[in-house]
Amino acid sequence: MATKINGVKGMNDLLPGQAARWQEMEAVAREVFALYGYREVRTPVVEPAQLFARGVGEATDIVKKEMYVFEDKGEDLLALRPEGTAGTVRAFIEHGAFVEGPQKWFYMGPMFRRERPQKGRYRQFHQIGCEAFGVAEPFIDAEQIALLDDYFARLGVRAELKLNTVGDGSCRPAYLQDLRAYLASRKGELCPDCNERMERNPLRVLDCKVESCQPVLAEAPRLLERLCPECAAHFDAVRSGLDALGVRYTVDTRLVRGLDYYVRTAYEFTSDALGSQSAVAGGGRYDGLVETLGGPPTPGIGFALGQERLAMILEKAGRAAPERKPVVFFVSADADGAREALRRAAELRRAGIACELDPRGGKMKAQFKQAERVGARYALVLGGNEVATGQAKLKDLATREETPVALAELVARVR
């Protein structure tokens, strides 16, 4: 045998036994998102690398360290998308969708980041995301968060909502200055990562999970107390919208979105079922992004949800993946029976009834075993005799009970 080739580290196969859960995740997303007026967009997995440098940020870990970048035969510098928002915004601008007024779009698909693989963190992972363009008013924030809350509820998943505001260009700069000064004053107590981020991206320091940093961060100045009146009013309105919708949340003043164009609303859903990588979805308002990518000033807010993590939660909650099983399994006794089985199976399938047969034929006992292995509800034995008389027996594989059935009435009877 030739040497076998394994898949790429950090990139997973999704086998048929697991796929049903993913299909459910996606079907429920489509259903719930449609109720809120979100429409699907599909953009390429490959984009110009520059899109992410500008749209995610040159200084972010994602772009600096984790992006898969390659030259397309010495011409353009391309990248595998590390997230879905930049490509969605690019398409929104490129196709002039902004002329039609506010738009709600969603996407789903694979994303790529060259991170250190661990539980809940992969190099190819999948996201489902929503983006609402063109509305600056806070009720859209509340509505989008409620959509996600609804989505989890439909799947029977419990996730905690954390909410925060990151201010905007009028209140954040002064706060950042104070934050930097505070962090610098306690430099020695902070981890190397925090020390490195302190100057460039002080908000991200608040997000640090290292144990020894926690006492310092707990005492850090809080933006919530220094918001400009507009940001304060926006935050209040988002909260009252969530209250009106009956969505429960906690305010987490250390929840941040790292990039400059994020303003005001930031939110995250977490689950205890996930361990250290506890975030299942994260979102925020990005009013500057469309403009940064060459479009007209357009407010926006979006989230992305990690499908691998959601699958882990569903699995842990013992939520069975609803896989479709055959209703009838045809067992053939001889060559005539095998031919009849082929025809009858086609007839049932045309009628929308799932069924199976063992194309290898062989011993009937083995075929019955196969019927049980695939989880069929009934077995139907066909041979020369059944073909000649047009009569057969439908055997309930759970109760072993046999019911006579005329082949001509098979579809109606099985139904």
Kindly tell me which of 122 and 175 has the beta carbon lying closer to ligand AMP: 122
Cα–Cα dist 355/329, whole Å: 6
What strand order describes the sheet that includes 250-251?
39-40, 103-112, 124-133, 300-306, 279-285, 263-270, 160-165, 250-251
Q: Tell me the site size for ligand AMP, rule CB under 6 A.
A: 16
Which among 38-46, 90-98, 239-247, 277-285 is the span making contact with ligand AMP, rule CB under 6 A? Answer: 277-285
Kindly tell me which of 45 and 237 has the beta carbon lying closer to ligand AMP: 45
Token digits of residue 360:
């290898």
Q: Which of residues 121-160 bind ligand AMP (CB under 6 A)?
A: 121-122, 125, 127
The verdict on 309 binding ligand AMP (CB under 6 A) reads yes
> At CB < 8 A and 24+ separation, what contacts does 54-59 make?
54/86, 54/292, 54/293, 55/85, 55/86, 55/89, 55/90, 55/289, 55/292, 55/293, 56/82, 56/83, 56/86, 56/259, 57/258, 57/259, 57/260, 59/200, 59/201
Cα-to-chain-centroid distance, residue 239: 25
Determine the length of the chain: 415
Q: Is residue 287 a contact partner of residue 263, using CB atoms and an 8 Å limit?
A: yes
Kindly tell me which of 263 and 379 has the beta carbon lying closer to ligand AMP: 263
The residue within the footprint of ligand AMP, chosen from 47, 168, 287, 308 (CB under 6 A), is 308
The verdict on 60 binding ligand AMP (CB under 6 A) reads no
Cα–Cα dist 163/242, whole Å: 10
Q: Is residue 393 a contact partner of residue 351, using CB atoms and an 8 Å limit?
A: no
Closest CA to 105 of 249, 290, 232, 278: 290
The residue within the footprint of ligand AMP, chosen from 83, 160, 207, 315 (CB under 6 A), is 83
The verdict on 242 binding ligand AMP (CB under 6 A) reads no
The alpha-helical segments, DSSP class H, found in 36-104 are 49-52, 61, 85-94
The verdict on 306 binding ligand AMP (CB under 6 A) reads yes
Which among 193-201, 214-222, 301-309, 407-415 is the span making contact with ligand AMP, rule CB under 6 A? Answer: 301-309
Cα–Cα dist 234/242, whole Å: 12
The residue within the footprint of ligand AMP, chosen from 304, 328, 376, 394 (CB under 6 A), is 304
Work out how close the CB of 158 gets to ligand AMP at its nearest, in angstroms, rounded to a whole number.
15
Work out how close the CB of 84 gets to ligand AMP at its nearest, in angstroms, rounded to a whole number.
8
Which among 91-99, 140-148, 149-157, 276-284 is the span making contact with ligand AMP, rule CB under 6 A? Answer: 276-284
- The mark string for 279-298 relative to ligand AMP (x by CB under 6 A, - otherwise) is xxxx----------------
The verdict on 172 binding ligand AMP (CB under 6 A) reads no
Cα–Cα dist 293/5, whole Å: 40
Q: Is residue 282 a contact partner of residue 179, using CB atoms and an 8 Å limit?
A: no
Kindly tell me which of 312 and 392 has the beta carbon lying closer to ligand AMP: 312
Work out how close the CB of 75 gets to ligand AMP at its nearest, in angstroms, rounded to a whole number.
29
Work out how close the CB of 300 gets to ligand AMP at its nearest, in angstroms, rounded to a whole number.
15
Kindly tell me which of 111 and 213 has the beta carbon lying closer to ligand AMP: 111
Q: Which amino acid is at 26?
A: E
Kindly tell me which of 205 and 341 has the beta carbon lying closer to ligand AMP: 205
Q: Which amino acid is at 193?
A: D
Q: Is residue 12 a contact partner of residue 51, using CB atoms and an 8 Å limit?
A: no
Question: Between vectors from CA 82 to CA 78 and to CA 86, what angle results, nearest 5°?
Answer: 80
- The mark string for 89-128 relative to ligand AMP (x by CB under 6 A, - otherwise) is ------------------------x-x----xxx--x-x-
Work out how close the CB of 237 gets to ligand AMP at its nearest, in angstroms, rounded to a whole number.
24
Residues that bind ligand AMP (CB under 6 A): 83, 113, 115, 120-122, 125, 127, 279-282, 304, 306, 308-309
